[in-house]
């Protein structure tokens, strides 16, 4: 079975005021003393109010769930030791009056010089799923086949509706913020591995991006691991929703691998339609329509059923069908993280939304 790994980013917030707090270094040091967190499993991020965790390589969703729950509890305990809490949300409900300091690393300082306002507003947290592929050449074929489904995954994972204490009107405001970097959004179609490498090399050599880490496509080849990295997802409120997306990402990659092996042509999707479909998904989440891989506008629930049919053989082969299908049905019944944040905001303001986020962040 294809292996998977998951990375999650969290905010560190003041439990009383709700503002992001620049305590990542202290939380990392405290986490290093925790028996729950191994060395290098918790790292800093661009801004000092963010931390990132990474699971080991996993063979099954049960492993993913166990590691994510362990890492969230470890990070949460370390945060509480320094008077803050972790918040598994794509954007902070409240930001405060002062920008959060950048982590003191050369790469991050260069990004600050390149785009100071973008960095100041980069208080966004995603979930990245790494799925193993046999080679980079095959990985490019996989990218070409999963790209039409990225707007659907974005809509399903929407968990960032709030910004500066108000509802942005977008289910995934994180997606909009991230789209402002030079290389972002749905990846283009690539002819082959050589085409991918040539175009990436040209971007770096031109100086438009400083390194391949600034390839902010919503799916890409990993430079560190032999994987395709699905990056379009907001970090999830709950561990079990994160597990659902790990299972879906693996099933999409395995379905693409089977199609490539069979010689089936990759879908021919116009880039402007995918870009607009991604914006539409970020705007509405699952509360409206979605653009399916054929370019048709359909009810969100119908597109999710289409996705399940598309990946059903891969889910069955992995033994994930029952769990992933059940979680998708729950998602359709109870809504996305964005829906739940909005309900909390309407009931009790930003403080209630923050209470929801911080309490759910360490819930199985």
Beta pairing class for 4-13 and 126-132: antiparallel
Instruction: Please compute the mean of the pLDDT values over residues 73-93 and round it to a whole number.
Output: 95
Please, are residues 48 and 103 in contact by the beta-carbon 8 Å criterion? yes
In this predicted structure, what is the pLDDT of residue 38?
73
SS3 41: coil
Could you tell me the pLDDT band of residue 192, with boundaries at 50, 70 and 90?
very high
Helix H or strand E segment including 38:
none
For CA atoms 155, 309, 333, 67, the dihedral sign is: negative
Whether pLDDT at 33 is above 80:
no
| Mean of pLDDT over the chain | 95
User: Nearest Cα to 151, choosing from 8, 339, 290?
Assistant: 290
> Does the pLDDT at position 48 exceed 80?
yes
Q: Is 185 helix (H, G, I), strand (E, B) or coil?
A: strand
pLDDT at residue 98 in the model: 82
Query: Which CATH fold would you assign to the domain 4-360?
Result: Creatine Kinase; Chain A, domain 2 (3.30.590)
d(CA 86, CA 358): 6
Q: Each residue of 234-281: pLDDT tens digit?
A: 999 999 999 999 999 999 999 999 999 999 999 989 999 999 999 999
pLDDT of 342 higher than 70: yes
CB distance 85 to 13 below 8 Å: yes
Residue with tokens 């999963």: 146
How do the domains of the chain map onto residue ranges?
4-360
For residues 299 and 297, what is the distance between their CA atoms, to the nearest angstrom? 7
pTM, two decimals, is 0.96
Q: At what angle do helices 300-318 and 150-157 cross, to 10 degrees?
A: 100
Instruction: In whole angstroms, give the CA distance from residue 136 to residue 223.
Output: 10
pLDDT digits (tens, 9 = 90+) for 279-301: 999 999 999 999 999 999 999 99
- What is the average per-residue pLDDT within 15-34? 87
Using pLDDT thresholds of 50, 70 and 90, give the confidence band for residue 329: very high
How confident is the model at residue 34, as a pLDDT?
62
Mean pLDDT value across residues 211-231: 96
Among residues 154, 145, 206, the alpha carbon closest in space to that of 178 is found at 154
Q: Considering Cα of 245, then 92, then 124, then 9, what sign does the dihedral take?
A: negative
Q: What is the pLDDT of residue 363?
A: 77
């Amino acid at each position: 079975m294809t292996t998977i790994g998951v990375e999650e980013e969290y905010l560190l917030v003041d439990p009383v005021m709700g503002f992001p707090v620049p305590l990542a270094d202290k939380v990392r040091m405290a986490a290093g003393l925790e028996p729950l967190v191994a060395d290098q499993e918790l790292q800093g991020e661009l801004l000092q109010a963010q931390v990132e965790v990474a699971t080991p390589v996993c063979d099954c969703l049960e492993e993913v769930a166990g590691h994510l729950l362990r890492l969230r509890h470890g990070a949460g305990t370390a945060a509480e030791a320094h008077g803050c809490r972790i918040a598994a949300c794509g954007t902070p409900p409240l930001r405060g009056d002062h920008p959060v300091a950048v982590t003191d690393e050369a790469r991050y300082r260069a990004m600050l010089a390149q785009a100071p306002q973008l960095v100041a507003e980069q208080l966004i947290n995603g979930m990245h799923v790494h799925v193993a592929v046999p080679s980079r050449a095959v990985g490019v074929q996989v990218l070409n086949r999963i790209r039409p489904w990225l707007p659907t995954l974005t809509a399903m994972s929407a968990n960032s509706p709030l910004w500066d204490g108000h509802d942005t009107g977008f289910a995934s405001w994180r997606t909009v913020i991230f789209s402002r970097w030079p290389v972002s959004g749905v990846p283009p179609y690539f002819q082959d591995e050589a085409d991918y490498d040539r175009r990436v090399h040209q971007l770096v050599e031109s100086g438009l991006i400083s390194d391949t880490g600034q390839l902010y496509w919503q799916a890409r080849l990993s430079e560190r691991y032999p994987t395709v990295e699905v990056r379009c997802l907001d970090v999830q409120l709950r561990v079990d929703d994160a597990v659902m997306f790990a299972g879906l990402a693996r099933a999409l990659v395995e379905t693409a691998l089977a199609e490539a092996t069979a010689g089936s042509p990759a879908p021919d999707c116009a880039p402007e339609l995918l870009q607009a479909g991604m914006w539409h998904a970020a705007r509405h989440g699952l509360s409206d329509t979605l653009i399916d891989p054929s370019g048709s506008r359909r009810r969100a629930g119908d597109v999710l059923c289409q996705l399940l049919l598309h990946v059903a053989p891969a889910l069955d082969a992995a033994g994930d069908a029952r769990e992933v299908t059940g979680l998708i049905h729950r998602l359709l019944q109870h809504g996305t993280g964005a829906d739940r944040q909005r309900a909390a905001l309407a009931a009790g303001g930003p403080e209630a939304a923050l209470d929801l986020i911080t309490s759910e962040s360490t819930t199985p």
